[in-house]
Amino acid sequence: MLEVDQRRKALNFGQKLEIIVRLINRQSLLPFFDTLDSSELVDAHNFLWDTMLTIHSRTQSHEFRRDEVTKKMISSAQYQKMQGCDLRIDYCKGVECIWSNPECAGKKIKANLDIIAQQIMKYFNQAEIRN
């Protein structure tokens, strides 16, 4: 576990601002995500998920349901099959693949990040319609 923590690099304040600005301007985040390394992608996922929860709580009247977002994501098992990966499923679901196969894991994380970003933009659009 210590080895993972030593390699972990968090997003800096400027990178987090870049994400927020792109969301507000309804711009694609994919070009920005392409500039991030593996550990930054993991941090971006955590940051974007937390941001989505915050924005949901401030713009939506219904309770957040995780499956509203995750149902749009490719499952780890399906992704592994598409990639021809024969590792145990827990490698793809956990953090092991981000270190052993960062390119493959990075693609999956970026796809999930894009789905989260689209959900946030949907919340923004719904809030604008109501106002």
pLDDT at 95 (0 to 100): 67
Q: DSSP for 58-109, please give it.
A: HH-SSPP-THHHHTTSPPHHHHHHHHT--S-HHHHHSSHHHHHSHHHHHHHH
Q: Is residue 33 part of a domain?
A: no
pLDDT at 8 (0 to 100): 63
Q: Is residue 101 part of a domain?
A: yes
Q: Is residue 109 part of a domain?
A: yes
The pTM of this model reads 0.88
Ranges of residues in the chain with a pLDDT under 70 are 1-8, 94-95, 131
Q: Is residue 45 part of a domain?
A: no
pLDDT at 121 (0 to 100): 97
Structural domains of the chain, count: 1
pLDDT at 26 (0 to 100): 96
E strands, 1-131, are none
Q: Is residue 96 part of a domain?
A: yes
The residue range of the domain holding 105 is 73-131
Q: Is residue 19 part of a domain?
A: no
Please state the φ and ψ torsions of residue 93, each to the nearest 5 degrees.
-75, -30
Q: Is residue 21 part of a domain?
A: no
Q: Is residue 115 part of a domain?
A: yes
